[in-house]
Amino acid sequence: MNNGTYEMASPMIGLFTWLFMIGLYLFFAYTQYRIAQKCGVKDNAWWSFIPIMNLVLWCQMARKPLWWTVLLFVPIVGLVVGILMSVEVAKNAGHPAFWGIALIIPFLNFVALIVMAFTEGSGHKPVQHTQPAPQQRTPQSVG
């Protein structure tokens, strides 16, 4: 082989790698977008396409406080918190907790995201956070 072949192959490999990484990012972002809509976080679902904000969105999807986002950056603690949040996200999206745990298993996480984003759940509906109805006062009888 001459040197010209290598000079041509190197940029093509780099281009392919970039396109592959962008495709993976869009896959993960879009599936998170769809899952966020199922979890009832429709207004902020577009945050799934913004780095770091997608972690804040994940907290909202799991119905956890915002400070849990910081815990995701702590070694070992972040893994445990990530698993706990993923299980809650799966439940809130209407799927069994297994799919949340499957998100940490390489290659199975692709299947878990596809199932959670594009299929109907097993019937478990997310809890809707609504304001309680005001109490009705009944007239007291005098007597």
Angle between helices 108-118 and 77-92 (to 10 degrees): 30
Longest CA pairwise span in the chain (Å): 108
From the number of C-beta atoms within 10 Å of its C-beta (0-12, 13-18, 19+), residue 41 rates as: buried
Could you read off the pLDDT of 5-39 as tens digits, one per residue?
Answer: 666 777 888 899 999 999 999 999 999 999 999 99
Q: At 43, phi and psi to the nearest 5?
A: -65, -35
Check whether 124 has a pLDDT greater than 60: no
Nearest Cα to Cα of residue 87 among 116, 110, 114: 116
Domains in the chain: boundaries? 11-118
Could you read off the pLDDT of 30-73 as tens digits, one per residue?
Answer: 999 999 999 999 999 999 999 999 999 999 999 999 999 999 99
